Structure 1
Amino acid sequence: MGSKGTIIVTGANGGLGSAIVQNILGTPDLASNYTGVYAVRKAATATKLNAALSRAPANHKHETVDVDLGSIADVRKVATDINDKVAKGELPRIRALILNAGYQDHAGIAMSKDGFEMSWQVNYLSNLLLSLLLLQSMDDQESRILLVGSWAHNIEDKRNDVTSAYKDPRYPTLYPGVEALAKGEWSRPEEDPTTNSGFRRYGASKLCAIMLVEELASRIAKDPKLSNISVIDLDPGGMPTGIARRAGFLISFVVMKLVLPIVTEISVRVKPNGVIRAPWKSAADAIRACFEIEAHRGEVLHLDGTSTDLLVAKEAKDEAKRKEVWEYGLKAAHIEEGDTVLVDWK
């Protein structure tokens, strides 16, 4: 068993997730001294993750867990199983919880079995549920919760100008209210049949996710036992990963698989924290944030790669809106007394 702690990575079969796992496996201290728990939709078909693990050092303890982030019951079960293993000593306490998994629709819209818009449930609600439930198994002295964010959360970020999604006067904000976002009542394909409709909902779900880490960090900072836990938001930049797989052939194959991989390998060497980045670079940034830099407590550490100059949306700093999203999430995820060790959870 890895003696220093457990590293949990969600979305471990994706472009960034599998790169994070490869970074762990390629770092002797991490591979030999930490236990990996790698969460994927279905382990049997997790080809990227399985390929990486087939080359893992013999002394790397790890397990792959199936989790459907579009199911509240499934997320709760996985979190409960992990907590049970930590309590029994079968897993060391969690040193890093890397919330990497993401979902993005394009011209269509998908609803979860729980009745929520899929981007919102995967990118916000499941992260809320995992964070609150797993706090009891975190190393309360030096652990870190890292959420993979996106510049898409900020309607004022100029990097979003590569698409016209945020220029439509019908959508002046990414926060029309949490109910509209959760229920998929905003930026629907019937209103806008282009890929912009899905991108807006993705951006809005990421805004809710940034609100989550802002609120979580604020509450953890006041907790008598958990205040040493750091909360981090990492913008990984634009990467050629599978998150665009639901787009058309031009975007999902030609752009993401043929053009961008070549462009990123050049651009990331010229401007490491530029708009376009390679998954290996952003994976290294995630590991750096969790294990190499000084702990940042009391508030969220917002990172744009290795830079601290990330432009955070004004809505994410709005305490009233943050509380609204938090409280709605608690009800949506059926969080009850005893589910979390966070004192100020309501």
Structure 2
Amino acid sequence: MGSKGTIIVTGANGGLGSAIVQKILGTADLAANYTGVYAVRKAATATKLNAALSRAPANHKHETVDVDLGSLADIRKVATDINDKVAKGDLPRIRALILNAGYQDHAGITMSKDGFEMSWQVNFLSNLLLSLLLLQSMDAQEGRILVVGSWTHNMEDKRNDVTAAYKDPRYPTLYPGAEALAKGEWSRPEEDPTTNSGFRRYGASKLCAVMLCEELASRIAKDPKLSNISVIDLDPGGMPTGIARRAGFLISFIVMKLVLPVVTEVSVRVKPNGVLRAPWKSAADVIRACFEIEPHRGEVLHLDGTATGPPVAKDAKDEAKRKELWEYGLKAAHIEEGDTVLVDWK
């Protein structure tokens, strides 16, 4: 059981994360032949994940791990534990690293234990750290690293026209520099007390995540031992999940729990890769990207559901900005020699 590889899913108790787990459990080959490592903030209160696992097939080998993505020390501990288990043969090599966990503030701002703006740390920095630390345990021939992206990373994407967040002339770019984003010095509630301030920072953090995918894929492609590993950026669309739970009663309950679940079940059948999608559909897209399509090597594969070639922000293609973000991220995460097997990591 679980001999083909390990599947790691972060944010496994969220709306999309728990749907991904359900998709794994419902796919006979994956459930029987892959080991699941499901990362949540607190296993004891992970009700959605626990409910899914209570119905898991008897032959599915899995474990749930606690990880606070707002703590670099916590991330390092979990990664070290996984690497140790793989090295000892207690876990098979990682076939799919699904970096799904997400964070979004709205009218307020939250700082992490490490002193970074929480959206930036969870959506970008934690993914950088986990990817670099876990590369040594990846399946070097078939492994895939998938980061859950978002159209909000691109100010020019027409799907953002529904919000006024990107129309404020004070914020002409989502990349004012790595430090301004990391330290929460940009789009602060004092400047804009509406929910647009948090939405803007969320979009900026997702831009950083896409920039990470571009840079990581470029460096992996040149690595003598890791070049067969694929890097995927997948936009799951707008879903009724808990990402907006800090938005207040109207959005977090009325819209996300009552209205959107009904609307998405209809819209996803009319336009599968449309703006609004059900979590089960996006979960299937994640599994498809990791296991059902041909590997995409040499550069990042950008997906919008099952569609290829979604619009990518110009900043994500800017090599100078990507390098600045990468180098800042290395310092912020305290990456040192010996932390990663990636040859071109500096």
Task: Give TM-score, length-normalised by structure 2.
Answer: 1.00
Deviations 1:91-139 (A, max 9, x none): 0000000000000000000001100000000000000000000000000
What CA distance in whole angstroms lies between the structure 2 residues aligned with 1:255 and 1:112?
28
Aligned match of 2:255: 255
Aligned-partner SS, 1:166: coil
Aligned match of 2:275: 275
Deviation at 1:163, TM superposition (A): 0.9
Task: State the percentage of identical aligned residues.
Answer: 92
Aligned-partner SS, 1:167: coil
Aligned-partner SS, 1:274: coil
Deviation at 1:309, TM superposition (A): 2.8
Question: Structure 1 stretches of 5 or more lacking a match?
Answer: none
What CA distance in whole angstroms lies between the structure 2 residues aligned with 1:155 and 1:67?
32
Deviation at 1:161, TM superposition (A): 1.1
What CA distance in whole angstroms lies between the structure 2 residues aligned with 1:332 and 1:172?
26
Deviations 1:145-194 (A, max 9, x none): 00000000001001011111000111010011110000000000000000
What CA distance in whole angstroms lies between the structure 2 residues aligned with 1:172 and 1:249?
30
Aligned-partner SS, 2:20: helix
Deviation at 1:252, TM superposition (A): 0.2
Q: Kindly indicate whether residue 25 of structure 2 is the aligned counterpart of residue 25 of structure 1.
A: yes
What CA distance in whole angstroms lies between the structure 2 residues aligned with 1:282 and 1:276?
10
Deviations 1:70-109 (A, max 9, x none): 0000001000000000000000000000000000000000
What CA distance in whole angstroms lies between the structure 2 residues aligned with 1:160 and 1:90?
45
Aligned-partner SS, 2:166: helix
Aligned match of 1:117: 117
What CA distance in whole angstroms lies between the structure 2 residues aligned with 1:113 and 1:284?
34
What CA distance in whole angstroms lies between the structure 1 residues aligned with 2:48 and 2:113?
27
What CA distance in whole angstroms lies between the structure 2 residues aligned with 1:27 and 1:323?
39
Deviations 1:22-67 (A, max 9, x none): 0000000000000000000000000000000000000000000000
What CA distance in whole angstroms lies between the structure 2 residues aligned with 1:158 and 1:81?
43
Deviation at 1:300, TM superposition (A): 0.3
Aligned-partner SS, 1:201: helix
Aligned-partner SS, 1:159: helix
What CA distance in whole angstroms lies between the structure 2 residues aligned with 1:67 and 1:155?
32
What CA distance in whole angstroms lies between the structure 1 residues aligned with 2:261 and 2:212?
32
Alignment: residue pair count: 346
Aligned match of 2:192: 192
Aligned-partner SS, 2:111: coil
Aligned match of 1:320: 320
RMSD: 0.4
Deviation at 1:301, TM superposition (A): 0.3
Q: Kindly indicate whether residue 34 of structure 2 is the aligned counterpart of residue 3 of structure 1.
A: no
What CA distance in whole angstroms lies between the structure 2 residues aligned with 1:329 and 1:169?
28
What CA distance in whole angstroms lies between the structure 1 residues aligned with 2:173 and 2:334?
28
Deviation at 1:291, TM superposition (A): 0.1
What CA distance in whole angstroms lies between the structure 2 residues aligned with 1:6 and 1:58?
17
Deviations 1:211-237 (A, max 9, x none): 001000000000000000000000000
Aligned-partner SS, 1:38: strand
What CA distance in whole angstroms lies between the structure 1 residues aligned with 2:114 and 2:232?
28
Aligned match of 1:210: 210
Aligned match of 1:81: 81
Aligned-partner SS, 1:36: strand
Aligned-partner SS, 2:8: strand
Aligned-partner SS, 1:234: strand
Deviations 1:181-209 (A, max 9, x none): 00000000000000000000000000001
What CA distance in whole angstroms lies between the structure 1 residues aligned with 2:126 and 2:178?
15
Aligned-partner SS, 2:308: coil
Aligned-partner SS, 2:63: strand
What CA distance in whole angstroms lies between the structure 2 residues aligned with 1:161 and 1:242?
22
